[in-house]
Structure 1
Amino acid sequence: MTAAHRFRSRTLLASGAALAVALGLAGTGTATARTADDAASTTVTPAGHSFAATLNGTATFTAGSLVVTCSTSSSAPDASSGHNRIPAAPGNVNPSGPVVSDLNAPTYSNCDVNLPGVQVTIQTSGTWNVSMQNGSPITATLTIPTGGFVLKSTGLATCTVTAAPTGPASFGTAFTNGDSSGPSKLTVTDAAVPVKVEGGFGCPTAAQTSTFNTVYDITDTTDPSSQITVGS
């Protein structure tokens, strides 16, 4: 699944790379530091239900003084891949660790940048995944595949920015169970992702990471009256 959109900025590239985290989709390598809660029993419900991740507010990507803000982003289930689905029972229960679901690559659009500049095309691809772990707080680790996000610029600078250039990149987020006041949420705070920047004049080739902040609503698409929840 791919997503393409245009930004405006001469130096957007380092910030655009942050977009690969998303989700940011965070972390600086292939694994996120774990806590003692990692051994806790995890149950994700409803078993076998599909879910969507939809941007709540804006997604902000920052590299130095450069800030990119996107107002539309989502990852939705589809019939062909079976991604964005909680494992059927008993796979939705792990007595000593997280429950993992594959994800379709997220899309991004309606993005602005704080500086004028070049045009950029962004593509996401491959199978992403989310690993949900019960604890205090509940956490969710997002992983993008190797090269699962590529940014290419034209105009004042011709550059290519690849996220997770040498291997899958994982990053931690906070997960909040939904209730009568609203859906479950996944919150990304100051996430970082490794990047490789290639190109000539105007390309931030020294950049090795970018950061990401956002909130996603996690909703049950099988039964919209249900909540996607994580417990013991």
Structure 2
Amino acid sequence: MSSFVSQPAVQPSLSTRDLTIRFGGHVAVNAVTADFYPGTLTVIVGPNGAGKTTYFNLVSGQLPATSGKVFVKGLDVTRAGPARRTRMGIGRAFQLTNLFPNLTVIENVRLAVQSRAGMGLNFFSIWSSHKELIARAEHYLERVSLMGRRDMHVGGLSHGDQRKLEVAILLALEPEIMMFDEPTAGMSVDEVPVVLDLIQKVKIEANKTVLLVEHKMDVVRQLADRIVVLVNGTLVADGKPVEVMQSKIVQEAYLGTSEPQHA
């Protein structure tokens, strides 16, 4: 197994220890131990059914672990629900969009800004009394190139624009740990660069820890500082992209070939 070399002086922002979940007799995630550090973008790869999204669900609290532990900045959050983990700094963008379809684009982001400001999810707050929140929401819409759709209802957006909106909401929550589950899935070719550029910009913020599940190897090569490989729920490789992409176990398990791939 390839091993990721961390900086021992830096406390991991997120850790899992022997993290496991079973569904009946099926072990979907099998004793995964890993540390994730600020300033590092880790891409989690593996074949379909490898347990990537399930691992994300365990980390973010959508699923309870059968055994093992999850730590955020050294604190055990294994029994904490998604809301508490969000308050502790975990932000999650889902493989399937998780939006309010009957609200407008700006309203969706405004609610995230409002929540981050500690004002709660008040759908009926008077906008004119919160001009600073609106300005902040518009800032995030500009970052994902959605200001032109500011007042559209989310239900009328294309799938690609919904994914961009979800990224805007995640950015608005300002989490320390950002988790993206296939952020470019379903996007057209011309929409993908906008999201990748955003993730690149997040990546260079030294205080952010970024985890990304992705199938597209060109995206992996472009973004990854580190690659973690899951196969049948088990961590089989963990290291720098050039090392992991060249390993035999990754060639066979993920790429279906024993021929070397250039990272």
User: Which category of TM-score, normalised to the shorter sequence, fits these structures?
Assistant: under 0.3
Q: Comparing both structures, which one devotes a greater share of its residues to strand? A: 1
Larger radius of gyration: 2
